[in-house]
Amino acid sequence: MSSTVDVVISTETAKYAPDSPQWRRETAALHSELQRETGAVTTQTTPAPGTKGGIAEIILALGTSGALVSAVQVFRAWLGRDKTRSITATWTDEDGKERRFTLTGENVDQQSLNTLSESIGRMIEGP
């Protein structure tokens, strides 16, 4: 039995301020790529002290292993464009514990992506 796992994706970079128009374009591009590849994306803005507006978080509703594989491919490509970028994925696991995983442009390796995929994949596919 398959279930949907909501994964909150937040992004950061050392290159731009969080409210920089260029950074907003970069995160919008990530949102668009994830939407095109998975079809399961919404955005939530969290107020951030000292910034105009807030920090945009992407909510990725993963319900199939195919969507998970596509999301991981998008993460890898997006992080590979700039080593100062990072993506933090946060979700609640099957035991009700909050899990958090951060990938950066500097450490985006297959082992890191496999850890993320395996944890979420078990929840999608079920027992």
Residue 74 lies in a domain: yes
Residue 118 lies in a domain: no
- Crossing angle of helices 65-80 and 21-38, rounded to 10°: 150
Residue 97 lies in a domain: yes
Domain interval for residue 101: 5-105
Number of Cβ within 10 Å of residue 82's Cβ equals 14
Q: What would the mean pLDDT of 99-115 be, rounded to a whole number?
A: 75
Residue 70 lies in a domain: yes
pLDDT score recorded for residue 65: 82
Give 104 or 117, the one with higher predicted confidence.
Answer: 104
In which residue are the tokens 């939407």 written? 35
Q: How many domains does the chain have?
A: 1
CATH number of the CATH domain containing 30: 3.30.70
Pair type for strands 85-92 and 41-47:
unpaired
Residue 46 lies in a domain: yes
Residue 82 DSSP class: -
Q: Is the pLDDT of residue 110 over 60?
A: yes
Residue 44 lies in a domain: yes
